[in-house]
Amino acid sequence: MAEYRHIVRVASTDLVGEKPIFQALRKIKGVSFSLSKAILIQSGIDPTKRAGDLEQKEVEILDKIIADPLGNDIPVWMFNRQKDPETGEDHHIVGADRKFTIENDIKAMKKAKTYKGMRHQWGLPVRGQRTKSNFRRNKGKGLGVKKKSGKSGRV
């Protein structure tokens, strides 16, 4: 049996060794609950096994599946980048690449002056929420009635 590790490195992310592997995988940016379960089913690893008890061979299998979920029979509907606007292919992006991709998408929307891009630019809600009582810029900063400080300007 492999030696217990407190920190396990999977997909460039440190996972806590005390947690069950299906929970620990969710700490990777871009891996949801359902994708975590699908990865473990494909790899044949027991979902309740602690992350610290994984052998190096099992960690390599998880890395391989996370890097290429399409080649490992993970359903396309679980991917976070279906029909990529640039390539037209289905991808699943994890880690720092995810944040970078989202930022580039927002920049492209702003440049094309789409409705969503303009809402991002103005700092308003993008997905149709109401703005009458929410999303106030100076919320909590108002002082109400302000007192005069010191003496008045009359002599």
The structure's pTM equals 0.73
Tell me the residue ranges of DSSP E strands in the chain: 7-10, 13-16
Residue 131 DSSP SS3: coil
- Closest by CA to 79, choosing from 121, 20, 38, is 38
Express each pLDDT in 80-118 by its tens digit: 889 988 889 998 999 888 999 999 999 999 999 999 999
C-alpha dihedral sign at 70, 73, 75, 80: negative
Express each pLDDT in 119-137 by its tens digit: 999 999 999 898 888 887 7
- Average pLDDT score, the chain: 88
Res. 37 pLDDT band, cuts 50 70 90:
very high
Express each pLDDT in 21-35 by its tens digit: 999 999 999 999 999
> Is the distance from CB of 15 to CB of 24 less than 8 angstroms?
yes
Gyration radius of the chain's alpha carbons = 24
Residue 43, H or E segment: helix 33-43
In this structure, the strands spanning 13-16 and 7-10 are antiparallel
Q: Give me the DSSP letters along 99-122.
A: HHHHHHHHHHHHHHT-HHHHHHHH
Which domains are seen in the chain, by residue range?
7-78 (1.10.8.50), 95-130 (no CATH)
